[in-house]
Amino acid sequence: MTLEGKAVSGVTLILLLIGVALTSSIHLAAASGTIYIRPDGSVDPPTAPISSADNITYTFTDNISGSIVVQKNDIVMDGDGRTLQGSGGGDGFRLAYISNVTMKNTNIRGFSSGIYLERSSSGGRTRCNITANNITNNSYGIYLYRTIMETNISGNTITNNSYGIYFISAFGTDISGNNITNNSYGVFVRGSGNRICHNNFHSNTHQVDSAASTNVWDDGYPSGGNYWSDYAGIDLHNGVYQNETDSDWIGDSSFAIDQNNTDRYPLMHPFASEVQEYEIAYRDLLHRYDEMYSELAVLNSTCRSLEESLQGQIDSLNSTCVGLSQSLTDLQGQLNGLNSTTQASINLLSNQINNLLNLMYALVGLSIVLIIMTIYYATRKHARVKLV
């Protein structure tokens, strides 16, 4: 290519880049003013760069300069990565008395409130999902006023706002998986009760400002709480009471917000959902190992106690057997002595009986002799009498 050709190509490239820049500027101002999603599902004005084929999912087709007021329940607002740009006032998305709305994939910047939620359509619970948005350079990133919500505000980047998330009399909101960074106030809470965990609080001038509120700041163990860039704790232990050996990427001491609000399980490094599930699984296995080890120690102690008890019983039985054997030996000696005494008594009695029999025989013989002599003398006397 000639030098002239290269120069022309360079100029062409520069012009192309300028054209892209101008096009971007034009896109940023593609729509202005306030856009309404009406209760019947229509977009007002109809020329706004928002399309919907079913009056359920509304998708940005270009950047928007201005506010969007949602007046319809049960819809999805998908920014498709485009920008909703304010001029320093008003609300980016405004939902009042509306339920079951999802706002996602939108860059929201330059408003008084990036997203403003107030109450619900029927006085009951507002169900909203705010996910994967980039909410930056607003006075209030997300403003929740007098809401009782079943809300999931996850995967958002909330940065460089005066107030990242602002709660006034708001309850039931689940704030998780968000990057809340470089705001004057990361979270500002008044008279509210919500669940705020698995977020990254990084370099906010005031991480949290809470009054007259009791919120839940962790999801228990092993799931954990939030990452706090100003947390000064260490990680040497694990477990529900953080008293087991080995680290688990959760701080050994809690992160105190105020007397009514404490993150019991502060994360040692920024939360990342794709990593967190592995860490939770690891902590769960580690916790189970500790439990099994404790159970094994108890079982081992029980076995030792049983062994000692059985050994004591065996020793006692052996002693009893030895004593019984000695008793049997003594009894055998007594039986032998009794047998000897009995035999001697029998022999003595036998001799006495023999002597008595001999005496009886002698007496019988003497009696017979006396009888014979008596008869003899009686006969002779009788014979003399006859002779006389």
pLDDT category of residue 324 using cuts at 50, 70 and 90? confident
For residue 60, pLDDT beyond 70: yes
pLDDT at residue number 10? 42
Please state, in angstroms and rounded to a whole number, the distance separating the CA atoms of residues 367 and 18: 173
Average pLDDT over the chain reads 84
- pLDDT over 60 at 178, yes or no: yes
8 A C-beta contact, residue 116 and residue 95: yes
- Each residue of 127-175: pLDDT tens digit? 789 999 999 999 999 999 988 766 677 899 999 999 999 999 999 899 9
How much is the pLDDT for 124? 53
Q: What is the pTM of this model?
A: 0.68
Sequence-ordered strand ranges (E) for 31-159: 34-37, 43-44, 50-51, 57-60, 64-65, 67-70, 75-78, 83-85, 91-96, 101-104, 107-109, 113-118, 128-131, 134-136, 140-145, 148-151, 157-159
Q: What percent of the chain has pLDDT over 70?
A: 85
Inform me whether the pLDDT recorded for 202 exceeds 90. Answer: yes
pLDDT at residue 28, rounded to an integer:
40
- Reported as type and span, the H/E element at residue 221 is none
The pLDDT of residue 235 is above 80: yes
The predicted model gives 332-344 an average pLDDT of 79
* Residues near 127 by beta carbon (within 8 Å), at least 6 away in sequence: 99, 100, 149, 150, 151
Does residue 5 register a pLDDT over 50?
A: no
pLDDT at residue 257, rounded to an integer: 95
SS3 8: helix
Comparing 78-82, 84-88, 288-292, the range with the smallest average pLDDT is 288-292
Residue type (1 letter), 189: V
Residues 268-279 have a mean pLDDT of 81
Residue ranges covered by each domain of the chain = 25-216
